[in-house]
Structure formats: C-alpha cells, structure tokens
Amino acid sequence: MSLREDIRNIAIIAHVDHGKTTLVDALLKQSGIFRENQEVQDRVMDSNDLERERGITILSKNTAIHYKNAKINIIDTPGHADFGGEVERVLKMVNGVILVVDSFEGPMPQTRFVLKKALELNLPVLVCINKVDRPEGRAEEVVDEVLELLLELDESERYLDSHFIFASAIGGWATDDLSVKKDNMEDMYEAILKYMPAPEGDFDAPPKMLISTIDYNEYIGRIGVGKVESGIIKVNQEMLLMNHLDENKKVKVKIGKLYEYDGLKRVEVPEAKMGSIVAISGIEDLQIGDTLTDPSNPNTIEFVNISEPTIAMTFSVNDSPFAGQEGKFVTSRQIKDRLQKELNTNISLRVEETDSADAFKVSGRGELHLSILMETMRREGYEFQVSKPEVLFKTDINGKKLEPMEIAVIDVPEEFMGSVMEKMGLRKGEMKNMIQSKGGYVRLEFSIPTRGLIGYRSEFLTDTKGNGIINTLFDKYDEYKGTIETRSRGSLVAFESGVAVTYGLYNAQERGILFVEPGEKVYSGQVVGLNARPEDIDVNVCKRKQATNMRASGSDDALRLSPAKKMSLEETLEFIDDDELIELTPISMRIRKRILDKAQRAKARSKN
C-alpha cells in the first residue's frame, strides 16, 4: 500500500447557511483558478437557479484546486437533511471532511446529522469556525460546543484533538489563531495539507472504482463520478460492472472517456490513478453504488444504504378547466419520462405507478426535497397537479403502526415560547430539552411526528412574528402517536368560472383571507381564499354590481380590498387539505378542490 501525497480528497459539510459554499468560493478565487480579470459571481458552486435563489446547496458539486505540489479535490455537499442521500454518497469518495460551523449559531441539527455520517466512516475532521467577524460571534464558546458534539457522537475521544481554524469566508481570510487576523486563506490550505490524509491504496493492484454520484448530460448521457480505489483506469479499458447489493449484476463494459476536475471544469484525461476523483462516460447502465472492477479479479465495494423516503405525494396530469393553456409538457407520458429521468440522479426519490395511468406516487425525504423537484419541473415547462403530502407509515413485527419522527430545534424569543410550546403540544410534540441562549432567545428541542410538522412552518412564522428559527431532522420510526388536528379553517371556493372583479372580491373578503386579485381568471371549484371558520364556503368572486339608474361614477373604485395573500410552494403544500390539489404550471400556482362540481362535492362529503 502506498500514499498518494500529491492529492487530497475532502468534503465540506455544514448546516444550511453556515457558509460552506462561500468558503469554497474563497478557496477557488485565491488558488489562481480564475484569470486576473475574470468576472466571477458569488457562490459560484451553486450553479442551479433554485440554489442561488434559496441560498442552499441541493446537489453535491465537485471542484479541484492546486496548492503547492498538491491537487485538492473538494466536494461541496448539501446541508439540508432532505438531501442527506447526497451527503452519504459523497463521503465515500473522500479521506477527510471540513466541518463548517457558524460562530454565532454554533452546531445545529444538520451539523450533527452530517458529522455523524462522517464519524461513522472514521473520517478525520478539520473544524472551521466561520463568520468570526460577525459582531455577535462567540467563537470560543462554539469551539467548546463542537468538542462536546464530537465527544457525544464518538465517545472514544480520538476526535478531541481535531484541528480548529477560524475564518471569514466572505472576507476571504482564515487563521489558526483567533487573535491574529490574516488577509488570505493560506492557513486553510496549509491545514488541509497537514491534517487531511492523502489517499492510500495500491497502484499495482487491479483497477477498481465505486460510482458515488451520477451526472447526466444531454450529449454524453450518463456520467459516473467516483474515486479510483486501486490500480489505474484507462480510456477504452475493458471492465466489469457489478453491484454489492445485486449479485446478478455482471456487465462487461468499456471505458468511453475519463475526466478529472480542474477548478470548475471537467478535463479529459487518458488515464486516472489510485486516489483520483474522476468522471466516466460511455457506460449506459451505470447506477449509483455500482463497482467498476477488473474482469480477471472481480469483487465489489460496499456501499451505504441510502435513507428511506418518509413523505409521499401524488403527481398527476392537470385536468382543471385551464389545463394545457400555460405549460409545454402536459401529458402523462411526458410527466412520467421526466420523473424517470430524475431518478437517474436523485437517489432518495421513489416513483411508483398508481391505479390511474395519469397519476404517479412520488416519495421523498421531506417537503423541501419534493418541492424543489416540483419547482424545477415548473421552470422546465411542465404542467401538473400534486396532492397533499402524506407520511409513509410502517408496521413492526408485532403489527404495531410506526410513523417517522423528527427532532425539531427551535430558536425563539422568550415572549413567543408559550405559543410555540402550546402548538407543538397539539401536534404531539414532546419537549426533550430547553436551553437559555443569548439575547433573550430560548432553544427548545422537541421530538415530533413528521405529520405534525406538515403545515406548521408558516403558522410558526406568524406565531413568532418572523423572529423564530425552526430546524428539523429525521430521527427514527416510532409508535404511532394518535390523531393530530391540523388545519382548523375551511376554504373559500369559487362558485363560478370567470374573471375575479373588485365587487365580488370585496363581498368575499368579509369571510376570510383572499388568494386572488381583481383581473385574475378563476374557475368553479378553485380555492380563492381561507375561511375564518372551519367549514368550506362557496363565494362568487366574479359577481358584478347590478347596474341601476342611480349608479355613481367611480363608486366601485372606493371599495377597499385587502392585499391578496400570495404563498410560496412550501406554504401551499402545508396549507392544502386532503380534498384539495395544487395545480402547477410554468406561470401559475392554483389551489383547487379535487371535485370541482359543488353538488358532487356535497355528495362525496355525505358519504364520508
């Protein structure tokens, strides 16, 4: 076995928004990857529009920088637990991790989640306390909190001498010593070379590689990304494709093209040696978890089982009166093909056929996981409908019903603590811990069923006047906690199709909160608002004022309408009831009743 000192393979892990993508930016910019005068956007690693808008990383990204005589392969991973499937996979490619922690917030639920995965694989940890230039930063305290977390997750104490580095990624500097402020990332590069181990393996052994991620390109097809575990892989080489979890998979393949990473680009190479992170094209049947191995010495590499989905929704063809008016892809065949394509790269997703040819059951890791897919499809020109998210139950060996549970960590000003605890109690949340934080804030930790959280985030923001922060993380399957009353208010449902007018809306707004504005087209059975009371009410928002001889000019203008409530996709998913659907098109997002006809709706209700 020999070390490959000219390479370091590292992953950057952190909680959402603690600055790991910005840190990669700083490392890239100072490594001379970009030309002197090259325009470089911020968060250059977040290439996807949705990632840039939401400020989160969804897909893991590969990049490489050169420092001194070493090439440092860096993988930027998602911090959100819904994308945990991505994190688990990429850790198989690296020899160490940089854990980024915000100097004010300290370790958060996802910090724990991603760190636990790294420790399970015995990966060394370099801790970067980021945003140390924040006025409210408390770097020394956070160092202690990280050490406590390391001890809690691994009792062997071997991680207590992990190296700490202090940085301002946005300021472009890092230092080993908090009392000495630097003006560059030099200390970070040095720490990577010193504390992150070089890949170890046998250059002379038969070639072997695990496919950890799959990329897809319209022109090249499937691209498998992974680390060469041993030997040397060459272009046009004959290899065997196998899988640790599927004994029957033995496919003879030929390496089409090989690419290594340099900066943000993929560069074609004739061969790749042990320790290199490479992308391979030209193999049709590549799946995540496959091993490419030497036909004369076939053996597979073990692969982490990806966490199971906890939430499911139905995606179906849009059958509203406005169907096909705004989307480019509207048929069940087109929707099915798009969902199948998503399975190529989205490992935590499941897609199943249903009794109807026009509907598909789509399961994922959480609401955010599925809403990102929906938003992406909308932007690509798809038009479809989705049902209310529902959790996936399991049954244990004794026939007991089990449901997914989450850990919810809530940071909230003391004055709102009472209403948060009351709401969590109604949703079967059980308080596990309470810590007094700085500045009049309290940190509350709850164990709560996943279904208790559906619909809670928007309510939580209202209850805390936007001052609360809630972070959740899948914990385990546990005994069913009983019925949870969720939405306590009914819908305002359009009585007829047409165009919403001020007069009709003015009369309807006395009943509750409206979702539509004057001039918007609506149809019978569309949900146009939230009723102040528990039952649904039909309203006529298209109703015009009866013309009389006494009509005063401009009297309609005097009617004052409250602004319509416009919800995000996540808020809409949380809002809808079991008998409602969301209609999604590239232009619009409407809530509607499953049964549009009022008489048929009443009949269905009486049956229940």
Please report, for residues 15, 107, 108, 481, 565, the alpha-carbon distance to residue 472 in angstroms, rounded to integers and kept in the order given.
Answer: 11, 13, 10, 18, 26
> Could you give the angle at the alpha carbon of 205 between the alpha carbons of 200 and 210, nearest 5°?
65
The binding site comprises: 17-22, 130-133
Q: Label the pairing between strands 537-539 and 491-494.
A: parallel
Q: What is the mean pLDDT of residues 317-339?
A: 92
What integer pLDDT is reported at residue 47 of this predicted model?
A: 39
What's the topology of domain 394-479?
Answer: Alpha-Beta Plaits (3.30.70)
At 526, the pLDDT band (50, 70, 90 cuts) reads: very high
The contacts of residue 156 (CB under 8 Å, 6+ apart) are none
Distance CA 82, CA 148 (A): 25
Lowest mean pLDDT among 94-98, 271-275, 557-561: 557-561
What integer pLDDT is reported at residue 120 of this predicted model?
A: 83
Structure tokens at 331: 């048929």
What integer pLDDT is reported at residue 20 of this predicted model?
A: 65
Q: What is the mean pLDDT of the chain?
A: 81
pLDDT digits (tens, 9 = 90+) for 530-545: 988 888 899 998 888 7
Structure tokens at 248: 């029957």
Q: What is the mean pLDDT of residues 14-33?
A: 72
Share of residues in the chain with pLDDT > 90 (%): 14
Task: Output the CA torsion sign for 481, 487, 488, 490.
Answer: negative
What integer pLDDT is reported at residue 385 of this predicted model?
A: 95
What SS3 string covers 532-568?
Answer: CCCCCEEECCCCCCCCCCCCCCCCHHHCCCCCCCCCC
The binding site for GTP comprises: 17-22, 130-133
Cα torsion for 425, 429, 432, 436, to the nearest 10°?
-60
Q: Which CATH class name applies to 2-200?
A: alpha beta
Q: What is the mean pLDDT of residues 485-493?
A: 81
At 316, the pLDDT band (50, 70, 90 cuts) reads: very high
What integer pLDDT is reported at residue 35 of this predicted model?
A: 36
Side chain identity at residue 158, one-letter code:
R
Structure tokens at 457: 């985030």
pLDDT digits (tens, 9 = 90+) for 25-53: 787 777 654 433 333 334 334 334 443 34
What integer pLDDT is reported at residue 339 of this predicted model?
A: 92
pLDDT digits (tens, 9 = 90+) for 218-251: 677 778 888 888 888 888 888 888 887 777 788 8
Distance CA 414, CA 428 (A): 21
Lowest mean pLDDT among 19-23, 203-207, 376-380, 409-413: 19-23
What integer pLDDT is reported at residue 17 of this predicted model?
A: 67
H-assigned helices in 91-230: 109-120, 139-153, 186-195
pLDDT digits (tens, 9 = 90+) for 351-383: 999 998 899 999 987 777 788 888 888 888 999
Helix or strand run (H / E) with residue 448: strand 441-449
Structure tokens at 237: 């080489």
Burial-class residue 414 by CB neighbours within 10 Å (0-12, 13-18, 19+). exposed
pLDDT digits (tens, 9 = 90+) for 139-178: 888 889 889 888 888 877 888 888 999 888 888 888 888 8
Looking at the predicted structure, is the pLDDT value of residue 103 above 60?
A: yes
Distance CA 97, CA 10 (A): 5
Q: Label the pairing between strands 441-449 and 430-436.
A: antiparallel
Collapsed DSSP state (helix, strand, coil) of residue 30: coil
> How many Cα atoms are found within 13 Å in the side-chain-facing hemisphere of 210?
18
Q: What is the mean pLDDT of residues 540-569?
A: 72
What integer pLDDT is reported at residue 61 of this predicted model?
A: 58
Side chain identity at residue 391, one-letter code:
V
Please report, for residues 8, 80, 93, 206, the alpha-carbon distance to residue 126 in angstroms, rounded to integers and kept in the order given.
Answer: 13, 20, 17, 32
Are 75 and 93 in contact, with CB atoms under 8 Å apart? yes
CA-derived radius of gyration, the chain: 27
Q: Minimal CA–CA distance to 594: which of 516, 521, 525?
A: 525
What's the topology of domain 202-293?
Answer: Elongation Factor Tu (Ef-tu); domain 3 (2.40.30)
Are 76 and 18 in contact, with CB atoms under 8 Å apart? no
pLDDT digits (tens, 9 = 90+) for 109-118: 667 777 887 8
What integer pLDDT is reported at residue 331 of this predicted model?
A: 92
Are 438 and 103 in contact, with CB atoms under 8 Å apart? no
Could you say which of 3.50.50.60, 3.30.930.10, 2.40.50.140, 2.40.50.250 is the CATH number of the domain covering 491-581+589-607?
2.40.50.250
Q: Which DSSP category does 393 fall into?
A: P
What integer pLDDT is reported at residue 590 of this predicted model?
A: 93
Distance CA 258, CA 271 (A): 7
Collapsed DSSP state (helix, strand, coil) of residue 13: strand
Please report, for residues 63, 237, 345, the alpha-carbon distance to residue 293 in angstroms, rounded to integers and kept in the order given.
Answer: 25, 11, 22
At 583, the pLDDT band (50, 70, 90 cuts) reads: very high
Collapsed DSSP state (helix, strand, coil) of residue 452: helix
Q: Any idea where the domains of the chain sit in the sequence?
A: 2-200, 202-293, 394-479, 491-581+589-607
Q: What is the mean pLDDT of residues 424-446?
A: 84
At 85, the pLDDT band (50, 70, 90 cuts) reads: low
pTM value > 0.75? no
Distance CA 146, CA 196 (A): 18
End-to-end CA distance of the chain: 69
